[in-house]
Structure 1
Amino acid sequence: MYQAIVFLPLIGFLIAGLFGGSIGAKASEYVTSGLLVVSAVLSWIAFFQVGFGDVETFVVPVLSFMKSGGLEADWALRIDTLTVVMLVVVNTVSALVHIYSIGYMHHDPDRPRFFAYLSLFTFAMLALVTADNLIQMFFGWEGVGLASYLLIGFWYKRPSAVAAAIKAFVVNRIGDFGFLLGIFGVFVLFGSVNLGTIFANAASYLPAAGAAAGEPVLTFLGHALDKQAAITVVCLLLFMGAMGKSAQVPLHTWLPDAMEGPTPVSALIHAATMVTAGVFMVARLSPLFELSHTALLVVTIIGAITAFFAATVGLVQNDIKRVIAYSTCSQLGYMFVALGVGAYGVAIFHLFTHAFFKALLFLCSGSVIHAVSDEQDMRKMGGLRKLIPYTYWTMIIGTLSLTGVGIPLTIIGTAGFISKDAIVESAFAGQNAAATFAFILLTVAAAFTAFYSWRLIFMTFHGKPRASHEVMHHVHESPPVMLVPLLLLSVGALLAGAVFKFAFIGEGYHEFWRTALFTLPGNEVVEAIHHSPVLVSLAPFIAMVVGTWVAWVFYIRSPKAPHELAEQHRGLYAFLLNKWYFDEVYDFLFVNGAKRLGHFLWKRGDGTIIDGLGPDGVSARVIDVTNRVVRLQTGYLYHYAFVMLIGIVALITWMMLGGSL
């Protein structure tokens, strides 16, 4: 069953990719979507068997992968609760995105290629989450990077899409370089890349409390590191990979630009799967991260800053997809805060619920764009509520879940209400030195999230229409093939939190996760959140109410207020609108610097030195000599006689001088 879950999407990719031109677009759509539906159903079966059954971690061998000296890595599927949770997330969202895309991409001439890319991405993500060793994980890690590059740049005739694809690929290479160094470091410290071996040795890796530091075990950047310093450096390198893949500050800049791809791509890659790969990786390697409090502190700080930063930028964005993209970036920050304070189950719970409501929001935005003739600027929308009612109400459900609407101190509420509030409470209860700092930023970010989420709803669906009469005349609801995935995701956005809270973060926590997630004895953050002060439990709810009220005042009661406020604070507005000028700073420091260096090496190094002194210089000297020799070929007899006379005189002189010597 598990081999089928992983390899059915690969089969769909091969069929659509190799034979799509022969079997046609319809067949490609149905084959890839059908195989994903089967894989999703099997994933749910595995989820209940492993998560709620008496099944310990086991490994399903696939094939011999790599063996070189002491390095041995077979392709095998590691099956535990964390794996099956990710299988459900990846395959459920991917299957619904495949089905949705049948309607959304209906007029695109390259549908077989699009569906092939979707299935390739899904397979790569499945290879990542089922990895039993770090080499296999890195294979899936790079596979999703490749597939995302292909999907973001799917409309390759658009310069903006090509630029966004390249940007995503390059920024992720920075993080991946750190991840690769981290894998090397793990192999040096533990002598293996197999997760089972690493986890078995992690518990006894550090010396006992009070013992001497010991001999250096790793040299990094010329510094000899003992065991504690070495594991900290390795964890930070691994986290560097997570920062790139999961769009954490300062490696976040690729995520908003990736909205240049088709909207289903945004829902699949940048809402539920690829961007959560970093969260999954840190959770999977939690036995290593628990050995370094410094690394967990960095994870907490970066997550909190990212959650706050992305929320502030989302306040003023006007592109409907970019607002949701920055929301994704912010929610990923929440997840990393939970990881940083040791609440791994809480982080994965939010990853699980986030998959439903964020995919729902992206697909709803696609339905809106589909209805208004591919317009994405919310300033050119408005008044769509009664024209596309199904899209409106499903987007309301997604917004309710994202903003965390529910009844405080109960389990009555949307999925986001239960999982996000648990993260905020975890930050307060955490023993991390940055926990209070994170709690404050997450609470403020919750208010900002409510504001920009309802701002999107009010600008898009309420008020007077701001689109042209022609556009409004053609506004229409999406076909059933697009609406059915929205309805199914709405169910998850509403109920996933209440249904699965008991297992993920409640009393059934230990029985559900067993050995899939690791926490040191005494670091029971999950239990601590159930005894948080009432005011702490109410904080995210109060923040949500304040943000929602301000959005209503600004965009329903006093629609001119936002413009007046922006005029009064032009500097702050420009700062947020330009995303804290991260792109401009990077252009100045890195892009333009690299261009100047490249131009210097091209003109001076390559042109002046290498070519000037090398082939071009030699050929130029040959030409100079031949040009001078050619001047002697005048064709006049007396010139030749004169030269002969000079030669004879020179010869006689040489003989006379030679004879005298």
Structure 2
Amino acid sequence: YMEHDAGMGRFFAFISLFSAAMLGLVVSINFLQLYVFWEGVGLCSYLLIGFYYDKVSAREAAKKAFITTRIGDFGMLVGILLVQVAFGTMDFIELRLMMPEYVLVAGTGYLTVIGLLLFMGPIGKSGQFPLHVWLLDAMEGPTPTSALIHAATMVAAGVFLVARAFFIFSECPLVMDFIAGLGAFTALLAAVIAVTQRRFKAVLAYSTISQLGYMMLAVGLGAFSASMFHLMTHAFFKAMLFLCAGAVMHALHDETDITKMGGLWKKMPLTFVTMLIGVLAISGIPPFSGFFSKDEILAAAMHASTPLYLMATFTSFLTAFYMARLLIVAFLGESRSEHEAHEVDAFMRWPMIMLALLTIVSGLWGYFGGFSLWIYADAPHHEAIDWTVAGTSTVLALLAFAAAYQIYGRHRLRAAMQQRSFGFLYRVVYNKFYVDELYGYFRERFVYGTAVILKWVDEKIFDGIMNGLGAYGLAMSEVLTENVNGQAQRYVVVFYTGVVILLCYALYWAVQVLMYLGGGLLR
């Protein structure tokens, strides 16, 4: 895919550094070590997003990702420092052992503050609202980067952190409710936006945000094993979907608009099959892996909160709809591309094939005995599948497929008519609810206003002081210049005048000393 790109040594150096940082993050035994590697993966993400640094869009996307995630990381750092202040340690095992006694003695008020601050890091890193805006721009990086970092690993680090520090979050009901609610809202918001996107990788980017919201919902409900299960299955099929996107873009000379594709299933059959497997998996169709992991999340939501369950179920329907739309518009119908597509070579096919196999079989970990046993040996045992939830989500996914085929497959003009019918609403959703524009407006106003104030302070206060000192020195030099004019008699007068002043000053202090000493002797 990148054989014609320059800087391959730099690319593999960044990827290797990222892999090392990600492994370090996963095996960290305390908050300090985790934070160091947390920032390491963030740095590598910045470097890889801006890999094509000769493109302005890539440079701006890298800066946007770096700054946005730093906002969340700052709050997380404050939370880690508060953990050290409260407990005197950052070690995960020690903290877990100390937690019950601390809650019994001190309550959960301070822990709630710590939990909210710690969760700011996952909000930024895992693309949760309102810090989700960087993930779409991160697609400016190479597609292998999108597949590895911004679909499977780094973006899931926030979910992993919440699960890793679950002994803290689980003691704070308010924080858990906030995590679950924000996850459900982010999942629904991103799914709605994905329905309108036309760029291949944009659909997958918002799909990633939506699935990360699913994971946050699960961990917020206390089902962290279901969240970790979905994290694993999602890594397989989403990485495969991004590689399929890269294969299509490679075959069509970097074309990203799906409305300019079509008919690719005939020319790229292997890519189409792997893409189909990924679509079925993310939509929750049995027996693919997404069916098992998403079923656990929906079951947890149904037993915990009806509103959250309804939001998650509707999000599941939208997920199947926009993924079917992506598959139908890009691969079915007649070709609308100016370029002649072709199947990619073996070096690009084999990774997709291997990920497709893992997508098919990885769900079995959850079926035979439950995925939670791989995480926590003493986890309670329960029925592997909630058939009510599974049946409902599967039927909704099939209905979504049928609706997408009816709109975008059989009656393609109907899609354009619907866009015109929902003109204003469609534009709002297509433009991501103008969140980026709102941030841009705030940034410009805030930065401009701050710049005006700082300009006044700089010119009137700092420059005023410096210019005033300079003017004073200039005035004194002019006074001295008038007296230094070459007339010897004036020099003599000035000299003796100064001598007289000094003698008078010395005489005054001598009298004062004598009076003080005389008074002391009299006493």
TM-score by length of 2: 0.88
| Residues 302 and 333, structure 1, Cα contact 8 Å, conserved in 2 | yes
| Residues 429 and 529, structure 1, Cα contact 8 Å, conserved in 2 | no
Distance in 2 (alpha carbons) for counterparts of 1:294 and 1:567: 43
How big is each residue's C-alpha offset from its partner over 1:264-292, in whole Å with a ceiling of 9 and x where there is no partner?
A: 11111111100000111111111111111
Distance in 1 (alpha carbons) for counterparts of 2:98 and 2:228: 24
Distance in 1 (alpha carbons) for counterparts of 2:197 and 2:405: 17
Distance in 2 (alpha carbons) for counterparts of 1:359 and 1:484: 13
After superposition, residues 365-514 of structure 1 pair within 5 angstroms as 365-406=245-286, 413-430=287-304, 435-468=305-338, 471-472=339-340, 475-505=341-371, 509-510=372-373, 512-514=374-376
- 2:391 aligned residue: 538
1:570 and 2:432 aligned? no
Distance in 2 (alpha carbons) for counterparts of 1:381 and 1:493: 26
Deviation of 1:566 after TM superposition, in Å, equals 1.2
- 2:170 aligned residue: 290
The one-letter amino acid paired with 1:416 is G
Distance in 2 (alpha carbons) for counterparts of 1:240 and 1:156: 29
How big is each residue's C-alpha offset from its partner over 1:420-457, in whole Å with a ceiling of 9 and x where there is no partner?
A: 12111110112xxxx22211111111111111111111
Distance in 2 (alpha carbons) for counterparts of 1:482 and 1:502: 32
| Residues 368 and 384, structure 2, Cα contact 8 Å, conserved in 1 | no
After superposition, residues 31-46 of structure 1 pair within 5 angstroms as none
1:187 and 2:84 aligned? yes
| Residues 429 and 528, structure 1, Cα contact 8 Å, conserved in 2 | no
| Residues 292 and 366, structure 2, Cα contact 8 Å, conserved in 1 | no
Distance in 2 (alpha carbons) for counterparts of 1:559 and 1:443: 27
After superposition, residues 82-161 of structure 1 pair within 5 angstroms as 104-161=1-58
Deviation of 1:464 after TM superposition, in Å, equals 2.0
Deviation of 1:500 after TM superposition, in Å, equals 4.4
Give the direction of change, closer, same or farther, for the CA distance of 1:497–1:538 in structure 2 (3 Å limit): same
Deviation of 1:382 after TM superposition, in Å, equals 1.4
- Greater Rg by CA: 2
- Structure 2: give runs of 5+ residues left out of the alignment: 495-523
Deviation of 1:626 after TM superposition, in Å, equals 8.7
Please give the secondary structure, in 2, of the residue aligned with 1:283.
helix
Deviation of 1:234 after TM superposition, in Å, equals 1.0
| Residues 403 and 450, structure 1, Cα contact 8 Å, conserved in 2 | yes
- 1:25 aligned residue: none
1:597 and 2:494 aligned? no
- Structure 1: give runs of 5+ residues left out of the alignment: 1-103, 208-213, 215-225, 407-412, 633-639, 652-661
| Residues 349 and 504, structure 1, Cα contact 8 Å, conserved in 2 | no
- 2:460 aligned residue: 608
After superposition, residues 65-76 of structure 1 pair within 5 angstroms as none
1:172 and 2:69 aligned? yes
After superposition, residues 541-560 of structure 1 pair within 5 angstroms as 541-560=394-413
TM-score by length of 1: 0.70
How big is each residue's C-alpha offset from its partner over 1:323-355, in whole Å with a ceiling of 9 and x where there is no partner?
A: 001000000111111111111111100001001
Deviation of 1:127 after TM superposition, in Å, equals 0.6
How big is each residue's C-alpha offset from its partner over 1:5-29, in whole Å with a ceiling of 9 and x where there is no partner?
A: xxxxxxxxxxxxxxxxxxxxxxxxx
1:273 and 2:143 aligned? no
- 1:257 aligned residue: 137
Please give the secondary structure, in 2, of the residue aligned with 1:544.
helix
Deviation of 1:622 after TM superposition, in Å, equals 6.5
- 2:509 aligned residue: none
Deviation of 1:535 after TM superposition, in Å, equals 4.0
How big is each residue's C-alpha offset from its partner over 1:187-234, in whole Å with a ceiling of 9 and x where there is no partner?
A: 222221011101111233322xxxxxx6xxxxxxxxxxx531111111
| Residues 192 and 198, structure 1, Cα contact 8 Å, conserved in 2 | yes
How big is each residue's C-alpha offset from its partner over 1:579-626, in whole Å with a ceiling of 9 and x where there is no partner?
A: 11111222223x123321342134212233322332x45446777999
The one-letter amino acid paired with 2:163 is A
Please give the secondary structure, in 2, of the residue aligned with 1:527.
coil
Distance in 1 (alpha carbons) for counterparts of 2:474 and 2:329: 72
Deviation of 1:514 after TM superposition, in Å, equals 3.1
Distance in 2 (alpha carbons) for counterparts of 1:592 and 1:621: 39
The one-letter amino acid paired with 2:410 is R
Distance in 2 (alpha carbons) for counterparts of 1:374 and 1:624: 69
How big is each residue's C-alpha offset from its partner over 1:120-155, in whole Å with a ceiling of 9 and x where there is no partner?
A: 111111110000111000011000000000000011
Question: Structure 1 residue runs of 4+, over 4 Å off?
Answer: 616-630
Distance in 2 (alpha carbons) for counterparts of 1:627 and 1:457: 84
How big is each residue's C-alpha offset from its partner over 1:517-539, in whole Å with a ceiling of 9 and x where there is no partner?
A: x98xxxx6x73775x5x543322
Distance in 1 (alpha carbons) for counterparts of 2:41 and 2:370: 27
| Residues 425 and 529, structure 1, Cα contact 8 Å, conserved in 2 | no
Distance in 2 (alpha carbons) for counterparts of 1:308 and 1:403: 14
| Residues 369 and 384, structure 2, Cα contact 8 Å, conserved in 1 | no
Structure 2 counterpart of 1:583, from 436, 459, 483: 436
Distance in 1 (alpha carbons) for counterparts of 2:409 and 2:16: 42
Structure 2 counterpart of 1:337, from 206, 209, 217: 217
- 1:47 aligned residue: none
Give the direction of change, closer, same or farther, for the CA distance of 1:121–1:356 in structure 2 (3 Å limit): same
| Residues 295 and 389, structure 2, Cα contact 8 Å, conserved in 1 | no
Please give the secondary structure, in 1, of the residue aligned with 2:222.
coil
Distance in 1 (alpha carbons) for counterparts of 2:46 and 2:218: 29
Give the direction of change, closer, same or farther, for the CA distance of 1:612–1:427 in structure 2 (3 Å limit): same
Distance in 1 (alpha carbons) for counterparts of 2:80 and 2:383: 33
1:309 and 2:189 aligned? yes
- 2:180 aligned residue: 300
Distance in 2 (alpha carbons) for counterparts of 1:126 and 1:577: 37
The one-letter amino acid paired with 1:422 is E
Give the direction of change, closer, same or farther, for the CA distance of 1:626–1:559 in structure 2 (3 Å limit): farther
Q: How many residues align structurally? A: 490
How big is each residue's C-alpha offset from its partner over 1:611-661, in whole Å with a ceiling of 9 and x where there is no partner?
A: 2332x454467779999999x9xxxxxxx9xxx9xx9xxx9xxxxxxxxxx
Give aligned-pair identity as a percent: 41
Please give the secondary structure, in 2, of the residue aligned with 1:385.
helix
Deviation of 1:572 after TM superposition, in Å, equals 0.8
Deviation of 1:513 after TM superposition, in Å, equals 2.8
